[in-house]
Amino acid sequence: MKNISLNERIIFALDFADPELAGEWVKKLDNHIKFFKVGLQLFLAGGWPVVENIIDRGNKVMMDLKFFDIPETVHLAVQQLRNRGVSFATIHGNRPIIEAAVADRTDMKILAVTVLTSFDESDMKEMGFTGSVRDLVLIRARKAMELGCDGVVCSALEAEPLRQGLGANFLVVTPGIRPGLNREEDEDDQKRVATARQAIINGADHVVIGRPISQSDDPVRTVVTLQEEIAKGLEGR
């Protein structure tokens, strides 16, 4: 089992358009959470000062920009993340794109996005794929590992077959974490979801959580409860 502290198991998704608001959430939570995700929306709104503020407070950053372009452009984009203190960066693409991304990443971890958690089987069919989501995730994850990625982003539902098929020597980061899983009360754009405890039992190293915390009446209490779930999940492996 990887030596990851409990306060780094949750990666809080700073899915906000306002950099000041994002900074307030970092201050509110970083006594309990030490890992934060910066996505396209926030990075375009606030740029590097947002990232620097998180890191300067002693936290880690996952840059979830999902680089997908011609290989040389991806290569140059990853270079822009070097020496910035970024811990994780996400990419998406085929062999040349992945090879370009991992070429000189230094100590930053490169995570390959497999299949977005907003996709389900009906989306796969609409795009012309004949296999299942799980099959495609496994194919893409295996290729990413062969090409030198440090880990993958997938739903918790695929974490278990990935561990069974590919072993433990890579990172699995799972978004789509929802407490309770009452879909009538929790309608959003995520389709392949699971609880934090189940994600960890299935083999996830980190869980990405945003709205269940940010929309909670007591965010800190929610974080503590989720960490308790994760601790139980670790015991259940």
Q: Which residue in the list 28, 34, 60, 66 is annotated as catalytic?
A: 66
- Determine the Cα–Cα distance for residues 125 and 99; give it in Å rounded to an integer: 28
Range in 44-53, 94-103, 119-128, 140-149 the model is least confident about: 119-128
CA distances from 37 to 22, 129, 166 (A): 10, 30, 26
Contact yes or no for 200/207 (Cβ under 8 A): yes
Structure confidence by residue, pLDDT tens digits, 45-61: 999 999 999 999 999 99
Contact yes or no for 61/85 (Cβ under 8 A): yes
State the pLDDT at residue 133. Answer: 81
38 or 184, greater pLDDT: 38
The answer to whether residue 158 scores a pLDDT higher than 70 is yes
How large is the average pLDDT for residues 110-138?
80
Kindly report the CATH class assigned to 6-235: alpha beta
Contact yes or no for 34/58 (Cβ under 8 A): yes
How large is the average pLDDT for residues 189-201?
79
66 is catalytic: yes
Range in 110-119, 171-180, 185-194 the model is least confident about: 185-194
**Domain locations along the chain:** 6-235
> For the whole prediction, is pTM greater than 0.85?
yes
54 or 122, greater pLDDT: 54
Confidence of residue 121 (pLDDT cuts 50, 70, 90): confident
